Amino acid sequence: MSDTKNIRNIAIIAHVDHGKTTLVDSIFQKTGAFRDNQQVNVRVLDSNPQERERGITIFSKNAAAVYKEHKINIVDTPGHADFGGEVERILQMVDGVLLLVDAFEGPMPQTKFVLRKALELHLKPIVVINKIDRPQSDPVKVHDQVLDLFIALGAEEHQLDFPYIFTSAKNGIAKYSMDDEDGDMSLLLDIIIKEIPAPVAEDDGGFQMLVTTLDYSDYIGKIAIGRIHRGKVSPGSQLVVVSPDGIVGKGTVTKVFQFDKVQKIEAKEATSGDIIAIAGIPDATVGLTLASVDDPVSLESFEISKPTLSMLFSVNDSPFAGLEGKEVTSRKIRERLMKEKMTNVALNVEETDSADTFRVSGRGELHLSVLIETMRREGYELAIARPEVIMHYDEQGTMLEPIEHVTIDIPEEYTGVIIEKMGRRKAEMIHMGTLRGGMVRVEFEIPTRGLIGYNLEFTTDTKGEGIMSHVFINYQPFKGKLPSRETGALVVSETGICVAYSLSALEDRGTFFVSPNTKVYAGMIVGESTRGLDITMNVCKTKKLSNMRSSGTDESLRLTPPKILSLEQALEFINDDELLEVTPLSIRLRKKLLDPNARARATKKANA
């Protein structure tokens, strides 16, 4: 056994929007990964269109940079708690982590969650205090908060003596102390080479690799990604898939890829310590070991966190079904969900009693809404039911529900309304403190159910100035019934086209989600009622014209602009008796029962 001296494997971990992907950009610029005249996107690793639009990392990415004859394998991990399943697995591939912390916000829930996992695995941490150029930032205070966090998480003595550096990834600045002159990213790269241990090389025994992530290509099939624990591999190698219970599959390696900058490049051979991708093993699954046929020994695996939220995906059966999408059948939807399940291991797909409906479970609303958005962009039409929390039962038969740790940063004047709203949702306040610039940080423990549908309300209550983040902590006994949506829906009574004349006359009934000339059908929801009851209305009624009275004689109508809901906002809005209709061109809200008489009978029956 020896050290692979010229390889360093690191993961970049941080809370959402603390600058992980921007830091990778700066590292690539410093290592000369791009030509001087090359056109490079900002946040080069965020290759998925949704990642660019949302400004967050959704899928973990592998990349590599070469600096001072060392190959640095970098794994960029998602910062949002809904994609925490990715981070937990990635830590198995690396020998150290860059813990990135915002110089203004300090350590946030996801930072604590991921750091705890890294410390448990005895990984070497390097603390990067980023965004030192941000107004009102206090990098030195944040460094002290990070040290407190290490102590609170029970870090060992040698882990408390962590190396740290202050950076502005956006400007490519790095320095060891705030009193130093501005340096560049070579200071950070030097720390990585010096502090992160090299992987242990063990090339003599049979091949072993723990599958940490999966990718898929329509041309070469399933691609298994992981770090070689022992041995060598090359195209043509015979490998077996080993679980703790024995061999579960086998195959021949068709291609071996190594990472170079942001691309995969084919390699003739790969040796222990390197992070690689292997094609040709169809039975490869996350958490299982790929091993040589002569020595099929399983490596210690890891537990994948279970989903906390589920939704029913069903075939779109509205009057407008099939008008906008290409893939509308249950067979096509099932194929697509099963393909997603192969690579997205934190996702679970189950068939239900109905052939047209599938139960899809994930780590949170965002996790599932990213899948829905991807499918609609691929031409699928779906009907989605309201998200439901997945309950568990302990040995005594007590019902347990998932609990989240919520951190809220708000201007001081909104503190009262937020504490009151969270209290109604069965939240318990566990900490409250002041930040710079008149901001207050409040921390709660709240049932996951209490967060469904709250984002929209939170944005309104704080006039868009509040920041809310949450991370799953554990299961606790069921907290009791929570209040549902306090307002009713504005429901269309007949199929047709919305008319400005009707919308103008009905504006006092509530807030509309549609504009004039929108096609609607009976049972479709076009707005939010001001009362707690649903109101059925005709939005297609036109003005009766005659010889004495023409349409031009009236003053032109002034309508309040409609409130256009995003996919996440629509998922938060719907109640148990409503569905979300998703097509490539439209997002519509509707009642499950389109006929008003059937709805009235169902309501009567429920009340009885």
Distance CA 586, CA 107 (A): 39
| Residue 405 marked in a binding site | no
Residue 249, both tokens: 């599959």
Residue 344, both tokens: 């997205």
| Residue 132 marked in a binding site | yes
In 3D space, the residue among 168, 126, 122 whose CA is nearest the CA of residue 143 turns out to be 126
CA dihedral 168, 172, 173, 176 (to 10 degrees): 90
Q: Quick one: which H or E segment has residue 289? A: strand 289-292
| Residue 20 marked in a binding site | yes
Distance CA 275, CA 233 (A): 12
Distance CA 276, CA 342 (A): 19
- DSSP letter at 81 equals G
| Residue 82 marked in a binding site | no
| Residue 76 marked in a binding site | no
Residue 439, both tokens: 């901001």
Distance CA 144, CA 43 (A): 29
| Residue 19 marked in a binding site | yes
In 3D space, the residue among 14, 63, 12, 15 whose CA is nearest the CA of residue 192 turns out to be 12
Distance CA 166, CA 177 (A): 7
Distance CA 478, CA 391 (A): 9
Q: Rg of the Cα trace of the chain?
A: 27
CA-to-CA separations, 530 to 463, 487, 506, 537, 598, in angstroms, rounded? 20, 6, 12, 14, 24
Residues contacting residue 507 through CB under 8 Å, at least 6 positions apart: 559, 560
Residues 581/383, Cβ–Cβ less than 8 Å:
yes
| Residue 294 marked in a binding site | no
Residues contacting residue 514 through CB under 8 Å, at least 6 positions apart: 498, 520, 526, 527, 539, 562
In 3D space, the residue among 346, 333, 341 whose CA is nearest the CA of residue 384 turns out to be 333
Residues 231/205, Cβ–Cβ less than 8 Å:
yes
| Residue 22 marked in a binding site | yes
**Tokens 């639009």, residue?**
53
Distance CA 337, CA 361 (A): 11
DSSP 359-372: EEEESSHHHHHHHH
Distance CA 55, CA 40 (A): 17
Distance CA 76, CA 10 (A): 9
Residues 429/444, Cβ–Cβ less than 8 Å:
yes
**Residue 391 CB neighbours (<10 A):** 13
Residues 133/105, Cβ–Cβ less than 8 Å:
no
| Residue 470 marked in a binding site | no
Q: Which amino acid is at 110?
A: Q
Residue 163, both tokens: 């190396």
In 3D space, the residue among 508, 493, 511 whose CA is nearest the CA of residue 600 turns out to be 493
The rounded Cα 239 to chain-centroid distance in angstroms is 33
| Residue 17 marked in a binding site | yes
Residue 200, both tokens: 């242990």
Task: List the binding residues for GTP.
Answer: 17-22, 130-133
- Which residues participate in the annotated binding site? 17-22, 130-133
